[in-house]
Structures are given as structure tokens and as C-alpha cells.
């Protein structure tokens, strides 16, 4: 899956921030500990006219999920 | 013969009546006002959903029910039972449309604000419902949950998932080790309901048919963490993201076998009216 790779500063600037009344940014780490943001098309449509429009200009990279240790099934 | 009637309220306001001329149920109207749903077909469907839930004594058993109607995040966020409570907050990564809402399986989830321990849901008195629009097993090798909350040990757990990568579906009311009710559906689409009552018999259904039964043990806590949708709330951290489409979901008190049959019919009728039923 392709996503927007963020620096830690970029992640800290948006994590948990609402970009409309109902939706907020949620960033996740990949297998290397790098932060990624995934936006649906409707997210992009919503963001392009806000202060967060710069996110749409950031580069995208392939995301490899981290390995999750499952203490239970 | 039915038609759309118009009437005038105070100060020249226009009151649009449902097809047939009767007013909408007050709770349905409150939902329309909050959510902004304006399409008459959708409004009539929601109104009938409310009427059917009430006439079948199911309304008061719902702590939250999300009809997922309206086609956008705002409309999909509202709890039909009480628009002031448990409004969903969506993370980035959801796709919303008239056919439902889909998390991306990687980072998308929705917080409910609904903590089962705080609303009278217990290990021996609760239900979870999800109408899934995704037939295929999860493509991710990582386990996922459609709805869930609990700790990181699986000893405090309230959750449901329809069809994982290994075809496993399950309903959890209490610790997974003793209380997980597991089935292996060959189709992940449909109305999945998990429920348990004071008899401590957990039952897991798909489309009104019983998938599996399990005798469980009671616990002091169902979960002190709010439910997440599209993922699992593990000690207030999101994990186990889902990629399954959601058409309708509910959280609430335990149901009788008859309640399950009625609720299944009512929810499918609602979604059939909207042209997005899976069976």
C-alpha cells in the first residue's frame, strides 16, 4: 500500500488534529518505525482547501506494516 | 395511493412530510436534523427502521445504532438511538458513500465514546451487530477486528470480527481463552450478531442463522475501554485495523433468540430499501 511518509515533526503537527467536524488525522508507523499517513479520496477532497493542503504535495512511498506480537488470537 | 405532502409550521417554515402524509417518528426526525440526511427514500427507510425497532421492543436494547446512511462522514457519524451520544469520530483513511463506509485496513478507525462497562453492558448481557458488505476473507495476514475494545492480554475483551484471513469469525464477550465464540463462515458479507444473556450462552449468528454456540464464564468487567469501529481499541491504542465495508452496526444489551431473528429482518429490510443488501 502506498502512503505519505512523514517526518516525526510532520507527524506531531497533525496527529489527532481534526480537519473537519468529524475527521482527524491518524498516522501509523511502518516496519522501520517511519511514520505514514493514508488519505482516502474524500479525505484529499476535504483537505485541499484547508491549512493541511501541503500534505497532498508530500512524496508517497510503499508501506510495509510492522509485525504485531499477538498475545491472544 | 401515496404522495409527498407539504405543510406550513410557525413563521412560514415548511414541514416536509413523509410519503403518505404522516409525520416522521420524532427520533427519526431528530436523526435527520442532526445528520443532514435529506433524501426522501433514505428518510423513509430510516423512519421505518425506527418504527420497526420500537414495535419489536428492540429500541431500548440499543445503546448505539449507526444506520450509515447519507453517504458522507458527517451523516454516518450519528447514533440513531440518541444523536447527542456516541457520535463517531473518524480517523483519516475512510471511504464514505451511499453504499456504506470502508476503512482502509491500515490506519482507519472510528472512536465511539461508548464504554461498555459504563452503559450497563456486561459479559452476560450484551450484543454486537455488524452488517458487513465484504464477502471475501481479509487479505491481510494480520488479525483484524470489525468492532472491539479490551486489554492487550485478551482477558478483557468485547469484540466481533466476521472473516479473517484464515476464514475465522468470532464474537467475544469476556476473555478470549474461555469465552471466544468462533465460527468459520465461507462468506464474510451479511448481518453478524453476537449476543449473550444471563444464561451465559454466547451465540453467534449470520443472517439470522446460528453459526456457533459457546457456554461462557462471567467476569466483573466487559471492557472499560471505548469501542473502536474498523479496528480494535487495545488499552486506548488502535490496532488490528479492518478493511471490511460497514452497512449498519449496533451495540447494546443482550437479545433473545427471537430478538435476533427480528433484528436481522429489520436491518436487512432497511438496507434492502436502500438497495445495498447483501442477501
Cβ–Cβ gap A72/B153 under 8 Å: yes
pLDDT for A8-52, tens place per residue?
999 999 999 999 999 999 999 999 999 999 999 999 999 999 999
Closest CA relative to residue B107, chosen from A46, A57, A50, A16: A16
Q: How far is B4 from chain A (nearest CA, A)?
A: 32
Interface test with A, best of B91, B92, B148, B237 (most A CBs within 10 A): B92
- Long-range interactions of B40-45: CB distance < 8 A, separation 24+: B40/B4, B41/B273, B41/B274, B42/B69, B42/B70, B42/B274, B43/B18, B44/B18, B44/B19, B44/B273, B45/B69, B45/B270, B45/B273, B45/B274
- The answer to whether residue A41 neighbours chain B at the CB level (below 8 Å) is yes
User: Least CA distance to B140: which residue of chain A?
Assistant: A65
- In this structure, are residues B159 and B232 in contact, taking their beta carbons and an 8 Å threshold? yes
C-alpha cell at B189: 458479507
Complete DSSP assignment for B210-276:
EEEEEE----S-S-SS--EESSEEETTEEES-----EEEEEEES---HHHHHHHHHHHHHHHHHTT-
Predicted confidence at residue A57, as pLDDT, reads 97
Q: How far is A7 from chain B (nearest CA, A)?
A: 17
Cβ–Cβ gap B93/A70 under 8 Å: no
Give me the sign of the Cα torsion angle B174, B178, B179, B180. positive
Predicted confidence at residue B14, as pLDDT, reads 36
Residue ranges of alpha helices (H) inside A1-73 are 8-14, 41-47
H helix or E strand, kind and range, residue B29: helix B26-35
Does position A71 have pLDDT exceeding 70, yes or no?
no
* B278/B275 Cα distance (integer angstroms): 9
Confidence of residue A70 (pLDDT cuts 50, 70, 90): low
Closest CA relative to residue B172, chosen from B112, B111, B240, B270: B240
- The answer to whether residue A55 neighbours chain B at the CB level (below 8 Å) is no
C-alpha cell at B76: 454516518
Eight-state DSSP code of residue B22: P
Please give the backbone phi and psi of residue B123, each rounded to the nearest 5 degrees, phi first. Answer: -60, -30
User: Least CA distance to A36: which residue of chain B?
Assistant: B107
User: Least CA distance to B72: which residue of chain A?
Assistant: A42
Cβ–Cβ gap A43/B93 under 8 Å: yes
pTM: 0.93
| pLDDT per residue as tens, chain B (279 positions) | 333 443 333 333 334 456 556 799 999 999 999 999 999 999 999 999 999 999 999 999 999 999 999 999 999 999 999 999 999 999 999 999 999 999 999 999 999 999 999 999 999 999 999 999 999 999 876 789 999 999 999 999 999 999 999 999 999 999 999 999 999 999 999 999 999 999 999 999 999 999 999 999 999 999 999 999 999 999 999 999 999 999 999 999 999 999 999 999 999 999 999 999 999
- In this structure, are residues B94 and B108 in contact, taking their beta carbons and an 8 Å threshold? yes
Predicted confidence at residue B20, as pLDDT, reads 58
- The answer to whether residue A27 neighbours chain B at the CB level (below 8 Å) is yes
With H, G, I as helix, E, B as strand and everything else as coil, classify residue B61.
helix
- In this structure, are residues B49 and B80 in contact, taking their beta carbons and an 8 Å threshold? yes
Q: Which residues of B touch A38 (CB under 8 A)?
A: 92-93, 104, 106-108
User: Least CA distance to B110: which residue of chain A?
Assistant: A23
Q: List for chain B the helix, strand, coil content (%; round to 5).
A: 20, 30, 45
If phi > 0 it is left, if psi is from -120 to 50 it is alpha, else beta; for residue B52 that is: alpha
Amino acid at each position: 500500500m502506498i502512503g505519505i511518509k512523514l517526518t516525526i515533526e510532520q507527524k506531531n503537527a497533525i496527529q489527532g488534529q481534526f480537519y473537519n467536524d468529524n475527521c482527524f488525522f491518524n498516522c501509523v508507523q511502518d516496519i522501520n518505525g517511519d511514520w505514514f499517513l493514508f488519505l482516502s479520496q474524500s479525505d484529499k477532497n476535504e483537505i485541499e482547501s484547508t491549512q493541511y493542503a501541503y500534505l497532498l504535495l508530500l512524496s508517497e512511498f510503499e508501506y510495509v506494516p510492522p509485525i504485531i506480537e499477538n498475545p491472544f488470537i | 395511493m401515496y404522495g409527498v405532502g407539504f405543510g406550513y409550521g410557525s413563521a412560514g417554515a415548511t414541514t416536509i412530510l413523509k410519503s403518505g402524509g404522516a409525520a416522521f417518528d420524532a427520533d427519526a426526525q431528530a436523526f435527520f436534523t442532526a445528520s443532514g440526511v435529506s433524501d426522501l427514500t433514505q428518510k423513509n427507510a430510516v423512519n421505518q427502521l425506527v418504527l420497526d425497532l420500537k414495535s419489536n421492543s428492540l429500541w431500548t436494547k440499543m445503546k448505539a445504532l449507526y444506520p450509515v446512511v447519507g453517504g458522507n462522514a458527517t451523516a454516518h457519524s450519528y447514533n440513531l438511538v440518541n444523536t447527542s451520544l456516541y457520535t463517531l469520530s473518524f480517523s483519516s483513511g475512510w471511504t464514505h458513500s451511499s453504499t456504506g463506509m470502508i476503512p482502509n485496513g491500515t490506519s482507519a478507525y472510528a472512536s465511539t465514546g461508548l464504554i461498555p462497562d459504563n452503559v450497563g453492558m456486561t459479559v452476560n448481557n450484551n450484543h454486537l451487530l455488524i452488517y458487513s458488505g465484504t464477502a471475501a476473507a481479509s487479505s491481510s495476514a494480520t488479525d483484524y477486528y470489525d468492532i472491539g475494545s479490551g486489554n492487550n492480554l485478551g482477558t478483557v475483551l468485547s469484540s466481533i470480527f466476521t472473516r479473517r484471513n484464515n476464514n475465522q469469525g468470532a464474537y467475544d464477550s469476556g476473555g478470549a481463552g474461555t469465552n471466544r465464540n468462533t465460527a468459520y463462515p465461507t462468506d464474510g458479507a451479511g448481518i453478524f450478531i453476537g449476543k449473550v444473556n444471563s444464561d451465559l450462552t454466547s451465540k453467534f449468528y449470520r443472517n439470522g442463522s446460528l453459526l456457533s454456540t459457546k457456554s461462557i464464564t462471567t467476569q466483573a468487567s466487559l471492557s472499560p475501554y471505548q469501542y473502536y469501529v474498523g479496528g480494535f481499541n487495545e488499552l486506548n491504542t488502535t490496532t488490528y485495523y479492518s478493511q471490511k465495508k460497514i452497512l449498519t452496526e449496533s451495540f447494546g444489551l443482550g437479545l433473545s433468540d427471537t430478538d435476533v431473528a427480528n433484528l436481522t429482518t429489520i436491518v436487512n429490510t432497511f438496507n434492502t430499501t436502500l438497495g445495498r443488501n447483501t442477501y
